Amino acid sequence: MPEHVPEAFLKVLADLTNWLESANAPAMVVGGIAASILGRPRATRDIDSLAFVPEERWTALLAEAGNHGIGPRIEQPLDFARRTRVLLLRHADSGIDIDIILGRLPYEEEAIARGEFHDLAGVRVKLPQVEDLIIMKAIAQRPHDLRDIEGLLDAHPEANIGHVLQWVREFSTAMSMPDILDGLERLLAQRKPRRG
């Protein structure tokens, strides 16, 4: 499993995990790193983490990051976070960018609670359940997200697709974006002949 993560990223993941734990911020790593570990390895240039932290604690969260070699990569990062719910950071020693997605939905809080710690060459990293990562990737709907879903399904044929479809259907309806559900259903239909 650790061979799926570039060595340069391991120190960043360690500092990221230590920071969020010391700040008492429920969080897990998502994005390309999670997809590479749980599914099919692929190149990624940054680290994405989903955290569930109330807005009144964002200033303290950012201040604590500095104690772990992590700082903002733009001016006025909290103003940007209030507009986008993404905190744009950079790991000082490595120069690797870190995006903290600041969740606010009950689903996101529950997904973090369901996450599990994995050992990557001695570094403890919390990752989502494979179904939750597929749901997040289905909502994002970029070409590499759909490829990640295929890799996750290949690695986890036991994944609960009914659960995934239920949540993606709910998000698709709530966001008035039927393409989200259509895209996932198309991908699943194309895969059926491969299942043997």
The number of angstroms, rounded, from the C-alpha of 134 to the middle of its chain's C-alpha atoms is 10
pLDDT digit of tens for each residue in the chain (196 aa)?
A: 445 677 889 999 999 999 999 999 999 999 999 999 999 988 888 999 999 999 999 999 999 999 999 999 999 999 999 999 999 999 999 999 999 999 999 999 999 999 999 999 899 999 999 999 999 999 998 889 999 999 999 999 999 999 999 999 999 999 999 999 999 999 999 887 654 4
Which of 33, 84, 24 lies closest to 57 in space, CA to CA?
24
* Gyration radius of the chain over CA positions: 17
Q: 39: which DSSP letter?
A: S
Residue 43 pLDDT: 85
Q: What is the pLDDT of residue 114?
A: 97
DSSP string, 65-100: HGGGTEEESSSSHHHHHHHHSEEEEEETTT--EEEE
In order of 42, 48, 136, the CA distances from 35 in angstroms are 8, 11, 11
- Give the CATH fold of the 1-128 domain: Beta Polymerase; domain 2 (3.30.460)
Boundaries of every domain in the chain: 1-128, 129-196
Name residues whose C-beta falls within 8 Å of residue 172's C-beta, 6 or more positions apart in sequence.
178, 179, 180, 181
Angle between helices 106-114 and 130-140 in degrees, nearest 10: 140
- Give the model's pLDDT for residue 188: 93
Return d(Cα 164, Cα 167) in angstroms, integer: 5
